[in-house]
Amino acid sequence: MEHDDFRDFYYQYLGMVDVLNVSDSSMDRIDMLDDYGAGTVIRTKLRPGIELIVADCRFYQSQTLRFQSDVPMIELSFWLNGASEINLSGHHLHIQNNQCQLAFIRNLEAEMCYDAKEPMLACEIRIAESVFRELVDAFGGDVNLDMNKLLGSQAVRIFQQAIPPAEEQLVRQMLTCPVAPPLRKMYLEGKALELLAIYMQRLLFDVDSSTPGRGRGLRRTDLDKIREAANILACRMEQPPSLLELSRLTGISDFKLKAGFKELFGTTVFGYLRNKRMERAVFLLETERTNVYEAAIAVGYSNPGHFAALFRETYGINPGQWPKKAGFPGNSLKLPLHEGGAESR
């Protein structure tokens, strides 16, 4: 594949609606026309065959973009804000805040629907299949990373899950890019490859590198359903489903669900949910400078006092002290603590 095909693919995507204004001759930065929306789309070519797209914008009217491509590639997309409905070669995706998608693409027919006035902040890493193959082969190769095996007869294969706090922090570091201009592409490429490696390890090799051996006692179909259940809990932590609803959504019995979480994650279903809520709360307090009340509501606790007690039980300090522990001045609200109450669901 010629790496310039990436540029043609990018222009085709942007050219589906006449709402964008090129602000410089290189077309690295695209500004929305005032009549149609606000914000920018920035494309950074990190090296031939690897690029980064950042969209920070909104449309004033609902838009549907349709396009196709026969450029083989791997895409890793992070939606930090915004919602949309996307159909990729027959795969329907509902995109919402704090979700990511890893897609292996042989050829693509896409339809993307964006809601009017919905602010969007998205970051996409795109790597040509030929460059991906070179990177893998340089370290001996692996059958799990062969595109033909990954895709089989499919045009597209997609993995979707919530963005864990640690990876969200990596993405936001890419957005801020806190290095001198001559080092910018080096910094961004390093972060991009790190994120690709993290997600491929997690989604293609089954066993989390931090928990070797876990999940090997599960059948592949059950393992996929348990991971799907975990993703649902992480995506819907503000209003999570009950155990029976989660069982119905994933097509696995509640008994297998409970046993599978113990086997794969070493905790109960709602112990996993609590862990994810606490991880997300730490990210909000430390990186977003959210106050305690806002963090509690964001992760699904209507009682900030109960949230503070669980946080203290998990980390040994009050949530209002966490920004100070991390070296930030913090902006915690002074909230009364209330005893009792079950974990909010």
Chain segment 19-71, per-residue pLDDT in tens: 444 444 344 777 877 777 888 888 888 888 899 999 888 888 887 877 777 88
Q: Which residues contact 32 (CB under 8 A, 6 or more apart)?
A: 19, 20, 21, 38, 39, 40, 41, 57, 59
Is residue 190 predicted with pLDDT exceeding 50? yes
Kindly report, residue by residue over 67-96, the tens digit of the pLDDT.
777 888 999 999 888 877 888 777 777 777
Q: Which residues contact 44 (CB under 8 A, 6 or more apart)?
A: 28, 51, 52, 53, 54, 185, 188
The tokens for 193 are 């490859």
Residues paired with 84 in a beta bridge: 95, 114
Give percent of the chain with pLDDT exceeding 70.
Answer: 80
pLDDT of residue 106: 86
Instruction: In whole angstroms, give the CA distance from residue 230 to residue 246.
Output: 9
Q: How many CB atoms lie within 10 A of CB 311?
A: 27
The tokens for 159 are 């993995």
Is residue 9 predicted with pLDDT exceeding 80? no
Lowest mean pLDDT among 31-40, 200-209, 275-284: 200-209
Kindly report, residue by residue over 115-137, the tens digit of the pLDDT.
777 788 899 999 999 898 888 88
Query: Does the predicted model carry a pTM greater than 0.75?
Result: no
